Amino acid sequence: MRFHSFLIKYGEIGIKGKNRYLFEDALVRQIRFALKEADGEFYVHKAQGRVYVDCEGEYDYEETIDALKRVFGIVGICPVVRVLDQGFEQLTKDVVAYMKEMYPEGNQTFKVEARRSRKQYPMTSMEINCELGGVILDAFPEMKVDVHNPDIRLNVEVREEIYLYSEIIPGPGGMPVGTNGNAMLLLSGGIDSPVAGYMISKRGVGLKATYFHAPPYTSERAKDKVVDLAKLVSRYAGPIELHVVNFTDIQLYIYEKCPHEELTIIMRRYMMKIAEHFAKEKGCLGLITGESIGQVASQTMQSLAATNAVCTLPVYRPLIGFDKREIVEISEKIDTYETSIQPFEDCCTIFVAKHPVTKPNLERIEKSEEKLTEKIDELMKTAIETTEVILVKP
């Protein structure tokens, strides 16, 4: 079947009044962005409180659906056949042709749901329902009408043209990116942080990202992998400004001065501080990490508290109550898993102690950090000044 348009269904909650147009404009913008990845030309527009994607000429149906399935805020995607209004007689023929092609088995229950946005149309919605219902029953002797729980809901919308649709392909839900400000994702090369970014972005939040690398202990390929992950996440979240921070000197300095079992916690505290610096500079309203309680020594309740203590912005940890298995499931769904499991060294793992503290004491950690007073400010300043910013798009 050749579809000419897609009717985009979106959730109605919380989008009344002025919010509604902000929501719809963001949705239209994100749809246009996502469709750049699909083969074809599209006209995305709002009409009478709805959002439509009109397909101009040839296009790739699968790619188009895949792209729309990545736009947060979309609840359902309805492929539409548009026919010219050439009188009711012709409409009955078009409807039978539509039903034949969509439902060749011809044995389902159905209901016709007409709607007129062009009120001059010579029949009422009720009349259209009855007449078309009769025509379908005549053409398909094994079909039956069921007004309560039909297998097929045939929507007939009378607009300038007449729109026929009956399928709803589920969208990802959530809110369009751009309706809820921006947040700074601490993006590593692992499985968790890309999923964390995806989840917060799903609520309408635009992403920026910070990655800490430690050349020459971590390679250029480890960095490329993080850029690849950012690209995959940006298919959902839109363009991501990725800050690549050279963390080597800070790590070496902590390694030199602080107890080794506290390395990871202290390092993570400096990561948060630097990420927060860029977050504030870029107007982000929070930080995002892929942490989950108890996953590793640096994610016990005590460790999370110690890391959290340096932040003044809220830290969003959408995976906090997830098991690894549940996180992997999402990473497979959003296609980041295969990239995440590529084996490249991570800056955290290079300097890890054999027996890291699992119940760090904040006062003791702060005491240890006093040993860094001499040079740490200068090192932080240099790390910030030498940060490379990459604009990542799919």
Annotated binding site for ATP: 186-187, 211-212, 268, 290, 299
- To the nearest whole angstrom, how small is the minimum distance from the Cβ of residue 394 to ligand ATP? 20
Residue 124 in tokens: 């009422």
Site for ligand ATP in 344-383 (CB under 6 A): 346-348
Please state whether the peptide bond connecting residue 216 to the residue before it is cis, i.e. omega within 30 degrees of 0. Answer: yes
The nearer residue to Mg ion, 182 or 193, going by C-beta atoms, is: 193
- To the nearest whole angstrom, how small is the minimum distance from the Cβ of residue 291 to ligand ATP? 5
How many CA atoms lie within 13 Å of 102's alpha carbon, on the beta-carbon side?
22
SS3 call for 55: strand
Provide DSSP, 110-124: EEEEEEESSTTSSS-
- To the nearest whole angstrom, how small is the minimum distance from the Cβ of residue 19 to ligand ATP? 31
- The residue within the footprint of ligand ATP, chosen from 117, 295, 300, 387 (CB under 6 A), is 295
- The residue within the footprint of ligand ATP, chosen from 190, 204, 318, 360 (CB under 6 A), is 190
From 63-71, 90-98, 144-152, 296-304, give the range in contact with ligand ATP by CB under 6 A: 296-304
Q: Is 289 a residue that touches Mg ion (CB under 5 A)?
A: no
Considering Cα of 13, then 19, then 22, then 25, what sign does the dihedral take? positive
Q: Angle formed by the axes of helices 18-35 and 61-68, to 10°? A: 140
Residue nearest to Mg ion (CB): 190
Residue 83 in tokens: 């026919």
- The residue within the footprint of ligand ATP, chosen from 179, 188, 336, 368 (CB under 6 A), is 188
Q: Is 251 a residue that touches ligand ATP (CB under 6 A)?
A: no
The nearer residue to Mg ion, 5 or 264, going by C-beta atoms, is: 264
Cα separation, 155 vs 116, whole angstroms = 11
Q: Which residues contact 281 (CB under 8 A, 6 or more apart)?
A: none
Q: Is 191 a residue that touches ligand ATP (CB under 6 A)?
A: yes
Site for Mg ion in 180-209 (CB under 5 A): 188, 190
Q: Residue 61 class from Cβ within 10 Å (0-12 exposed, 13-18 middle, 19+ buried)?
A: middle
Residue 155 interacting partner from ligand ATP, Mg ion, none (CB closer than 5 to 8 Å by kind): none
Q: Which residues contact 296 (CB under 8 A, 6 or more apart)?
A: none
Residue 191 interacting partner from Mg ion, ligand ATP, none (CB closer than 5 to 8 Å by kind): ligand ATP
Q: Is 272 a residue that touches ligand ATP (CB under 6 A)?
A: no
- To the nearest whole angstrom, how small is the minimum distance from the Cβ of residue 358 to Mg ion? 17
DSSP state of 261: G
Q: Is 152 a residue that touches ligand ATP (CB under 6 A)?
A: no
Q: Which residues pair with 316 in a beta bridge?
A: 288
Q: Which residues contact 85 (CB under 8 A, 6 or more apart)?
A: 91, 121, 158, 160, 161, 162
Q: Which residues line the annotated binding site?
A: 186-187, 211-212, 268, 290, 299
Q: Which of 306, 284, 290, 308 is nearest to 360 (CA)?
A: 306
- To the nearest whole angstrom, how small is the minimum distance from the Cβ of residue 276 to ligand ATP? 12
The nearer residue to ligand ATP, 212 or 322, going by C-beta atoms, is: 212
Residues of this chain that interact with ligand ATP (CB under 6 A) are: 186-188, 190-193, 210-212, 271, 289-291, 295-296, 298-299, 346-348
Residues of this chain that interact with Mg ion (CB under 5 A) are: 188, 190
